[in-house]
Amino acid sequence: MPKPFLFLDVDGVLNPAAPHPATDFEARTLLGFRVLLSRRHGDWLHELSQVHELCWATTWEENANTHIAPALGLPQLPVVRFTGCAPQPGDPRTPVLELFSAAKWAPLLRHAGPRPFAWLDDVIPPRLVRNSLLRRDRLLLRVDARRGLERHHVDRLLAAPPRPAPLAGRLPRRRPKARAGTG
């Protein structure tokens, strides 16, 4: 059985806005932006890769493999595409007030397909987080954009990774039998 996906955002998760001064973040200029990265995050992501299949879910897209992955000591990872993503039949409806914060949701669901997944991001609508609490195949963790990924996030992902949905929920529904005399 394949590992659950772990969808990773960069800005606000691996590149926090205001990390604690005593932490080991190094400032870099990547693509004209000041980025704060920590090798500790790379170590944690290697640890998480034992349980999850890591996957970029960031607007950096392929640039995450070019610039972020080497800085963290990570291999090339799969990338969820957001640029040019158009709504497709079957996509979940997004309330108007969540158009920005939920923009990644449909592409993530398409990429995951039936596989369970976890998602680390600083911008996840609270409604999606609440709804995921009722599912064992999804784990949505909001990260404080000022502090970024912290050890308690890693521990949570390792302690209880998402698992496949119960088989009963994946069986096709039976059509009701026609009653005698109807037709």
Q: Which of 25-39, 95-109, 122-136, 145-159 has the lowest mean pLDDT?
A: 95-109
R_g of the chain computed on alpha carbons: 19
Q: Which pLDDT tens digit goes with each residue over 121-135?
A: 998 888 787 888 888
pLDDT higher than 80, residue 148:
yes
- CA angle 1-155-9, nearest 5°? 75
**Which of 41-45, 62-66, 104-108, 114-118 shows the lowest mean pLDDT across its residues?**
104-108
Q: Which residue has the higher pLDDT, 169 or 120?
A: 120
Total-model pTM: 0.82
The whole-number average pLDDT for the span 56-68 is 96
CA distance 67 to 51: 24
Task: Tell me the pLDDT band of 179, cut-offs 50, 70 and 90.
Answer: low
Least confident stretch, 25-29, 44-48, 79-83: 79-83
Using alpha carbons only, give the angle 96, 83, 90 rounded to the nearest 5 degrees. Answer: 55
pLDDT tens column, 71-92: 999 999 999 998 766 666 665 5
Cα 38–Cα 118–Cα 65 angle in degrees, nearest 5: 45
pLDDT at site 175: 52
List of residues 6+ apart from 151 with CB closer than 8 A: 44
User: How high is the mean pLDDT of the chain?
Assistant: 85
**Residue 56 pLDDT class (50, 70, 90 cuts):** very high
